[in-house]
């Protein structure tokens, strides 16, 4: 079979998947880039070709510290970065510690491993609604125990204002670390036992074993895991939207803010401009991750 | 010798304690959810952390099944269940069908644009949903405007959307699964006179059942859980359970007890399906983060 014929045969099999990708991913990405340059609102949406072309004005507006939208957008970007800087290392560390615990053999290990997966497989909508209940000021258990321990005198309002982002971080780490744990556990179990034996013969302490065998052997898995988490961090939406509502105020992240600007205030053009920036950031990070992964990896 | 056994015992106790703390951290929210679902709305609303006699309790003062029996009373939860089931099952069927063909081609055919396509599929996983949402919504509006075909607030609109979301992971996972089935099996079938499509359905399909089930379940769960696109693209007739849960809390009333009962009902299908196919889905997800 000629290579052209082979390509055509593969094309027939992949066509439905290609069409889905085309309509849901490819066209919207490019169209979104176009919308970012026009002044599109609720009146012009069906006559979008007549919407005035405004060049870079949408971008200037959303990045200007002088406009309300700009201030809030820049703040939402800072929020999502801050959110990632806290939740990714925290989730990684907890995941690593628990993976080290679970890498030992003990009675009931399978059960424990199944139970720690629960947060990961529980639907976001369920998990974050339960956390919302837990964080309630007057009826929640967080304040109940903080008061009982004497750490606070008055119930804290967790889900509004400056503290809101920390409540979201706690809930997200709770939901996210089992995945890191799972990946790291798989990494730990792929380390050949001989390496440990050799290191023990050389007189390594148990910290030495971790420092010179476990940690270096986990490096590739950790690098991919952390980079992927950094990219997926920009997807953060569910935890903010469910815990804090459609308008998280000071705790907006880009996803919630763009949703609000586009679908509550109908600033589609500005919303698209903000989305395009996110797309570019994620694209750059993807290039990095592909470079990191390419070492000897064949797809 | 005695010191050594003492250290051993101490180590075991500390180890057990650590495991206990981990499990407590994981399970406390679930216990709180279950406990809340059996309380009366009155008990939750009158709770007050400042007053010891009203402080929220782990055991309901008055145990009640009302929240489960009347889950549909204030929020149309049963309608949302129906919508979610239709959309999730539809997504499952289409995602399995489409990804099976694509994965078969990736696994068995040699063609020049294979690597490019695989990379493209992978990279769609990286973009946040909000990157597509505005133009995608516009596409729905324009299809209705020009073709008269309603997309927003329809089952097929949501099924198409979620199928496309589920496809990248489904294709890659199924391709890995098909790669593990020896090539000789379908080559033999083709020597015996099967077309590639015939070999796929007669020989590969029965062997790939576990992989297909895992992909189907993954797709179902994905559609069941999605929030962002559902907030914009669903409406009164198609609202899914993930959004329905939010309706228990309004500006006027906070029905936490009802919400906790609904939360448990919403989780059950996901937990059951997941545990059926735990091994395969986890292998796939871990491979996604480690190998691509």
Give the helix/strand (H/E) hosting B158: helix B155-179
Task: Give the tens place of pLDDT for each residue, B193-247.
Answer: 888 888 888 888 888 888 899 899 999 999 999 999 999 999 999 999 999 999 9
pLDDT at res. A203: 85
- Gap from A65 CA to chain B (nearest CA, Å): 23
Task: Give the tens place of pLDDT for each residue, A190-243.
Answer: 888 888 888 888 888 888 888 888 889 998 889 889 988 999 999 999 999 999
Whether residue A247 is contained in a domain is answered as yes
Which residues in chain B have Cβ-Cβ distances shorter than 8 Å to A35?
A: 134-135, 138
Q: Residues 199-228, chain A: which have Cβ within 8 Å of B? A: 221, 224-225, 228
Return phi, psi of residue B249, to 5°: -110, 115
Nearest to A141 among B32, B260, B292 (CB): B32
Contact criterion met (CB below 8 Å) for A213 and A124: no
CB contact under 8 A, B132 and A32: yes
Give pTM, 2 decimals: 0.91
CB contact under 8 A, A122 and B241: no
- Gap from B185 CA to chain A (nearest CA, Å): 19
CATH at residue A178? 1.10.3720.10
CA distance A256 to A252: 6
Q: Is the pLDDT of residue A298 over 60?
A: no
Nearest to B111 among A10, A139, A263 (CB): A10
DSSP 8-state code for residue A248: -
Contact criterion met (CB below 8 Å) for A171 and A128: yes
CA distance B240 to B260: 17
Give the helix/strand (H/E) hosting B282: helix B278-290
Confidence of residue B150 (pLDDT cuts 50, 70, 90): very high
Task: Quote the percentage of chain B above a pLDDT of 70.
Answer: 95
Whether residue A262 is contained in a domain is answered as yes
Task: Quote the percentage of chain B above a pLDDT of 90.
Answer: 56
Residue A285's domain spans which residues?
69-293
B67 contacts chain A (CB < 8 A): no
Inter-helix orientation angle A68-102/A254-263, to 10°? 140
A138 contacts chain B (CB < 8 A): yes
Domains and CATH numbers, chain B: 2-66 (no CATH), 74-290 (1.10.3720.10)
- Gap from B283 CA to chain A (nearest CA, Å): 9
| SS3 state of residue B254 | strand
Q: How many CB atoms lie within 10 A of CB B268?
A: 9
Mean pLDDT of chain A: 90
CB contact under 8 A, B135 and A155: no
Q: What angle do CA B177, B182, B183 make, to 5 degrees?
A: 105
Whether residue A112 is contained in a domain is answered as yes
Residue written as token pair 């609102």: A41
pLDDT at res. A287: 87
Whether residue A74 is contained in a domain is answered as yes
- Gap from A199 CA to chain B (nearest CA, Å): 22
Confidence of residue B1 (pLDDT cuts 50, 70, 90): low
Query: How many CB pairs below 8 Å do chains A and B form together?
Result: 285
Confidence of residue B134 (pLDDT cuts 50, 70, 90): very high
How many domains does one find in chain A? 1
Q: Is the pLDDT of residue B77 over 60?
A: yes
DSSP 8-state code for residue B249: B
Nearest to A183 among B44, B289, B292 (CB): B289
Q: Please report which residue ranges of chain A form alpha helices under DSSP H.
A: 3-21, 27-35, 57-63, 68-102, 109-116, 118-121, 124-134, 141-148, 164-189, 193-201, 206-209, 215-232, 238-244, 254-263, 268-293
Task: Give the tens place of pLDDT for each residue, B243-278.
Answer: 999 999 988 888 999 999 999 999 999 999 988 877
Task: Give the tens place of pLDDT for each residue, A73-92.
Answer: 999 999 999 999 999 999 99
Whether residue A2 is contained in a domain is answered as no
pLDDT at res. A296: 42
pLDDT at res. A1: 67
Which residues in chain B have Cβ-Cβ distances shorter than 8 Å to A104?
A: 15
Whether residue A132 is contained in a domain is answered as yes
Task: Quote the percentage of chain A above a pLDDT of 90.
Answer: 59
Considering A64-68, A78-82, A144-148, the range whose residues carry the highest mean pLDDT is A78-82
Sign of the Cα torsion B262, B264, B268, B271 reads positive
Task: Give the tens place of pLDDT for each residue, A120-133.
Answer: 999 999 999 999 99
pLDDT at res. A78: 96
Contact criterion met (CB below 8 Å) for B178 and B107: yes
Among candidate residues A223, A199, A221, the one with its CA nearest the CA of residue A209: A199
Q: Please report which residue ranges of B180-277 form alpha helices under DSSP H.
A: 183-191, 196-199, 205-207, 209-225, 228-233, 241-244, 256-276
Task: Give the tens place of pLDDT for each residue, B92-118.
Answer: 999 999 999 999 999 988 888 898 999
Q: In three state form, how does the secondary structure of B10-29 look? A: HHHHHHHHHHHHHHHHHHHH
Whether residue A24 is contained in a domain is answered as no
Q: Is the pLDDT of residue B81 over 80?
A: yes
- Reported ipTM: 0.91
pLDDT at res. A299: 38
Contact criterion met (CB below 8 Å) for A116 and B23: yes
Sign of the Cα torsion B261, B263, B269, B274 reads negative
Whether residue A166 is contained in a domain is answered as yes
CA distance A271 to A258: 5
């Amino acid at each position: 079979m000629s290579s052209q014929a082979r390509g055509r045969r593969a094309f027939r099999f992949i066509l439905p998947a290609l069409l889905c990708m085309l309509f849901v991913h490819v066209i919207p990405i490019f169209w979104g880039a176009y919308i970012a340059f026009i002044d599109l609102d609720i009146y012009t949406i069906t006559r979008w070709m007549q919407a005035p072309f405004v060049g870079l004005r949408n971008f200037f507006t959303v990045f200007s510290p002088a406009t309300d939208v700009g201030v809030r957008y820049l703040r939402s970007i800072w929020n999502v970065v801050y959110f990632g800087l806290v939740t990714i290392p925290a989730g990684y560390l907890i995941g690593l510690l628990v993976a080290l615990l679970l890498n030992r053999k003990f009675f009931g290990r399978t059960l424990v491993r199944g139970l720690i997966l629960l947060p990961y497989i529980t639907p976001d909508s369920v998990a974050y609604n339960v956390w919302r209940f837990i964080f309630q000021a007057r009826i929640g258990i967080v304040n109940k125990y903080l008061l009982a321990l004497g750490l606070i005198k008055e119930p804290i309002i967790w889900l509004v204002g400056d503290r809101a982002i920390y409540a979201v971080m706690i809930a997200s780490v709770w939901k996210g670390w089992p995945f890191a744990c799972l990946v790291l556990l798989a990494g730990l179990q792929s380390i050949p036992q001989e390496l440990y034996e050799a290191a023990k013969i050389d007189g390594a302490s148990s910290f030495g074993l971790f420092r010179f065998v476990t940690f270096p052997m986990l490096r590739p898995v950790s690098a991919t895991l952390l980079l992927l988490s950094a990219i997926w961090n920009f997807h953060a939406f569910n935890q903010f939207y469910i815990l804090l509502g459609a308008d998280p105020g000071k705790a907006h992240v880009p996803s919630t803010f763009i949703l609000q600007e586009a679908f509550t205030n109908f600033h589609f053009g500005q919303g698209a401009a903000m989305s395009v920036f996110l797309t570019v950031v994620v694209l750059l990070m993807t290039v990095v991750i592909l470079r990191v992964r390419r070492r000897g990896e064949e797809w | 010798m005695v010191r050594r056994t003492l250290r051993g015992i101490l180590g075991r106790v500390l180890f057990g304690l650590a495991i206990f703390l981990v499990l407590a951290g994981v399970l406390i929210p679930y216990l709180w959810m279950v406990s809340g679902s059996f309380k009366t709305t009155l008990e939750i609303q009158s709770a007050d952390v400042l007053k010891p006699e009203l402080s929220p309790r782990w055991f309901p003062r008055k145990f009640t099944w009302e929240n489960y029996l009347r889950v549909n009373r204030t929020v149309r939860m049963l309608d949302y269940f129906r919508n979610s089931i239709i959309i999730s099952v539809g997504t499952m069927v289409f995602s399995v069908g489409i990804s099976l063909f694509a994965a078969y081609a990736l696994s068995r055919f040699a063609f020049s644009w294979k690597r490019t396509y695989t990379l493209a599929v992978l990279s769609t996983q990286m973009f946040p949903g909000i990157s597509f949402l505005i133009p995608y919504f516009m596409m729905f509006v324009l299809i209705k405007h020009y073709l008269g075909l309603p997309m927003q607030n329809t089952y097929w609109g949501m099924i198409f959307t979620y199928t496309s979301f589920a496809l990248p992971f489904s294709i890659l996972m199924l391709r890995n699964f098909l790669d593990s089935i020896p090539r000789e099996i379908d080559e033999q079938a083709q020597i015996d006179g099967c077309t590639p499509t015939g070999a796929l359905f007669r020989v590969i399909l029965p062997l790939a059942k576990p992989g297909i089930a895992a992909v189907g379940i993954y797709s179902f769960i994905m559609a069941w859980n999605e929030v962002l696109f559902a907030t914009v693209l669903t409406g009164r007739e198609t609202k899914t359970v993930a959004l329905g849960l939010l309706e228990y809390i309004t500006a006027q009333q906070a029905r936490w007890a009802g919400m906790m009962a609904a939360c448990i009902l919403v989780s059950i299908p996901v937990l059951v399906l997941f545990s059926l196919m735990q091994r395969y889905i986890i292998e796939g997800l871990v491979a996604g983060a480690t190998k691509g």
